[in-house]
């Protein structure tokens, strides 16, 4: 068993509890470094819902692949196991499941998983970094450790995670080893990551745009390629927040094709309604200043920028608003322009797209097709769900099936 994160710990526990002798190799000096920082340290460990609801969050090929794993070990099963070990969980309004609010709640989840594994007799070895796999289909012979030691086993499970946040021990190298052994995969690709902007606005750091949608277009004023409803938050280099994270993969794909442009649709972005509102205001409230009105719709720090772009002084009164200024305001305030994105950084993603191709894996056993003793689970697979507990659940569920060795018994 290689990798002592969410997926590896569950796989090790499950295999151990079925009476197998399990040795878990973790490269770091401690287990579950990524689990500990998940959900900002609070660990959004799963999402409420049955198999169908969880599947619906993933792209259709990933959902089909996950079905047996979610049936075997779903959101309710996970919560039950944790409850047995004293980690009570609760569901937030948006369906996200967290441990009861206590400081360091992610650490409680990790502790519970480690307890399960140890109780099942799993031998845990930390600072045991695997650097190569040796063998050829259909049989892996051994793994080579950084120390030079070689270790054999009847069955190998790889749960080394993705390639983001390499400081947590996940460098993504297992994908290359597997490709070398003829197991296909898709290169790592950024997902659920902040989006840098070509023209960042450090002065707006911390400002949020809410109750609208982030829109990705095929170049300035181009056709809409994708959008996501949710808040964004300006950072020193660009934007983050739910909508930015969810759209980051599509943004990077469009950027690499050379045609990506971003805007934030304020409200429903209805230009005709906004124009009508402005005309009405000119009639009923001619002394209202532009700056005041814009601030009703946008955070204060953005007001001067909008006025400048529209060619208006913030103290311009509505009665003095001419057609060009009105048109400019309508355009800026229906879809606030963010401009071209910069390269989305793989390492800053909550997950990675890419990984071992799902068609190479038997979804009931997690065995690599064409191999008798090699399994893969967790984020090393080409699986990536949205924010909301789906990614950890996918890691737990695939880990459970990987460790469930009934098929080999």
Ligand X SMILES: Cc1cc2nc3c(=O)[nH]c(=O)nc-3n(C[C@H](O)[C@H](O)[C@H](O)COP(=O)(O)OP(=O)(O)OC[C@H]3O[C@@H](n4cnc5c(N)ncnc54)[C@H](O)[C@@H]3O)c2cc1C
Helix orientation angle between 323-334 and 271-284, rounded to the nearest 10 degrees: 130
38 interacts with ligand X by CB under 6 A: yes
Query: How far is 178 from 176, CA to CA, in rounded Å?
Result: 5
Return the residue matching tokens 């995969």: 185
Token digits of residue 19: 């009476």
| Closest CB to ligand X among residues 227, 384 | 384
Name the nearest CA neighbour of 159 among 407, 394, 409, 406.
Answer: 394
Q: Is 144 helix (H, G, I), strand (E, B) or coil?
A: strand
114 interacts with ligand X by CB under 6 A: no
The region of 64-72, 155-163, 252-260, 354-362 touching ligand X under the rule CB under 6 A is 155-163
Query: How far is 70 from 55, CA to CA, in rounded Å?
Result: 8
The region of 183-191, 218-226, 282-290, 388-396 touching ligand X under the rule CB under 6 A is 388-396
Return the residue matching tokens 């993933």: 58
Footprint on residues 42-61 left by ligand X (CB under 6 A)? 43-44
The region of 72-80, 239-247, 249-257, 384-392 touching ligand X under the rule CB under 6 A is 384-392
Q: Which of 70, 130, 175, 346 binds ligand X (CB under 6 A)?
A: 130
| Closest CB to ligand X among residues 174, 302 | 174
185 interacts with ligand X by CB under 6 A: no
75 interacts with ligand X by CB under 6 A: no
- CA–chain centroid gap for 65, Å, is 18
| Closest CB to ligand X among residues 16, 263 | 16
242 interacts with ligand X by CB under 6 A: no
Spatial contact of 126 and 29, defined as CB atoms under 8 Å apart:
yes
Whether cis (ω within 30° of 0) applies to the bond prior to 138 is yes
What minimum distance in Å lies between the beta carbon of 5 and ligand X?
2
Query: How far is 276 from 35, CA to CA, in rounded Å?
Result: 51
74 interacts with ligand X by CB under 6 A: no
Neighbours of 265 (CB within 10 A): 19
Q: What are phi and psi of 150, to 5 degrees?
A: -110, 135
Q: Is 264 helix (H, G, I), strand (E, B) or coil?
A: strand
28 interacts with ligand X by CB under 6 A: yes
What minimum distance in Å lies between the beta carbon of 270 and ligand X?
34
331 interacts with ligand X by CB under 6 A: no
26 interacts with ligand X by CB under 6 A: yes
What minimum distance in Å lies between the beta carbon of 390 and ligand X?
6
DSSP 3-state helix, strand, coil percentages of the chain (rounded to 5)?
40, 25, 35
Name the nearest CA neighbour of 6 among 394, 408, 365.
Answer: 394
Helix orientation angle between 6-17 and 390-403, rounded to the nearest 10 degrees: 30
350 interacts with ligand X by CB under 6 A: yes
246 interacts with ligand X by CB under 6 A: no
Give the residue closest to ligand X by C-beta: 5
What minimum distance in Å lies between the beta carbon of 337 and ligand X?
29
375 interacts with ligand X by CB under 6 A: no
Q: Which of 81, 89, 108, 164 binds ligand X (CB under 6 A)?
A: 164
Q: Which of 16, 99, 161, 354 binds ligand X (CB under 6 A)?
A: 161
Query: How far is 258 from 200, CA to CA, in rounded Å?
Result: 19
| Closest CB to ligand X among residues 82, 338 | 82
Burial tier of 68 (Cβ tally within 10 Å: 0-12, 13-18, 19+) = middle
26, 117, 156, 51 alpha-carbon torsion, rounded to 10°: -110
| Closest CB to ligand X among residues 177, 277 | 177
The region of 280-288, 297-305, 330-338, 390-398 touching ligand X under the rule CB under 6 A is 390-398
Query: How far is 81 from 356, CA to CA, in rounded Å?
Result: 28
What minimum distance in Å lies between the beta carbon of 91 and ligand X?
14
Spatial contact of 206 and 214, defined as CB atoms under 8 Å apart:
no
What minimum distance in Å lies between the beta carbon of 230 and ligand X?
16
Q: Which of 7, 62, 108, 213 binds ligand X (CB under 6 A)?
A: 7
379 interacts with ligand X by CB under 6 A: yes
Return the residue matching tokens 């909008």: 306
Q: Which spans of this chain sit near ligand X (rule: CB under 6 A)?
A: 2-8, 25-28, 33-35, 37-39, 43-44, 129-130, 159-161, 164-165, 169-170, 350-351, 378-379, 389-392, 395
């Amino acid at each position: 068993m290689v990798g002592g994160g969410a997926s590896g710990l569950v796989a090790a526990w499950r295999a151990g509890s079925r009476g197998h002798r399990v040795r878990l190799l973790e490269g770091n000096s401690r287990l579950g470094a990524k689990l500990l920082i998940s959900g900002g340290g609070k660990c959004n460990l799963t999402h409420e819902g049955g198999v169908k609801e969880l599947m619906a969050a993933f792209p259709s090929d990933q959902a089909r692949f996950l079905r047996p794993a979610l049936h075997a070990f779903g959101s309710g099963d996970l919560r039950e196991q944790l409850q047995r070990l004293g980690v009570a969980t609760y569901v937030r309004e948006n369906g996200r499941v967290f441990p009861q609010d206590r400081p360091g709640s992610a650490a409680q989840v990790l502790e519970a998983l480690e307890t399960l594994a140890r109780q099942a007799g799993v031998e845990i070895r930390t600072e045991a970094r695997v650097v190569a796999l040796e063998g050829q289909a259909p049989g892996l012979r051994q793994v080579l450790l950084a120390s030079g030691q070689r270790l054999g086993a009847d069955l190998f499970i790889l749960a080394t995670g993705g390639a983001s946040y390499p400081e947590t021990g996940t460098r993504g190298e297992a994908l290359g080893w597997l490709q070398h052994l003829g197991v296909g995969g898709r290169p790592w690709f950024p997902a659920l990551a902040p989006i840098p902007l070509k023209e960042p606005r450090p002065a707006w750091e911390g400002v949020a745009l809410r109750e609208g949608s982030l829109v990705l277009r095929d170049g300035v004023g181009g056709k809409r390629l994708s959008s996501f409803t949710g808040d964004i938050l300006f950072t020193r280099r660009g934007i983050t927040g739910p909508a930015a994270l969810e759209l980051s993969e599509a943004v990077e794909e469009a950027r690499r094709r050379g045609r990506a442009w971003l805007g934030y649709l304020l409200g429903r972005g209805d230009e005709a309604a906004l124009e009508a509102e402005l005309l009405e205001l000119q009639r009923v409230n001619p002394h209202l200043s532009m700056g005041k009105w814009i601030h009703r719709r946008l955070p204060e720090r953005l007001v001067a920028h909008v006025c400048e772009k529209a060619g208006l002084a913030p103290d311009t009164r509505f009665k003095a608003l001419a057609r060009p200024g009105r048109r400019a305001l309508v355009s800026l305030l229906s879809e606030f322009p963010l401009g071209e994105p910069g390269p989305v950084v793989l390492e800053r993603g909550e997950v990675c797209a890419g990984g071992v191709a799902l068609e190479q894996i038997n979804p009931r056993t997690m065995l690599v097709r064409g191999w008798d003793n090699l399994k893969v689970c967790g984020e090393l697979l080409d699986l990536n769900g949205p924010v909301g507990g789906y990614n950890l659940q996918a890691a737990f569920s695939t880990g459970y099936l990987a460790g469930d060795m009934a098929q080999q018994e």
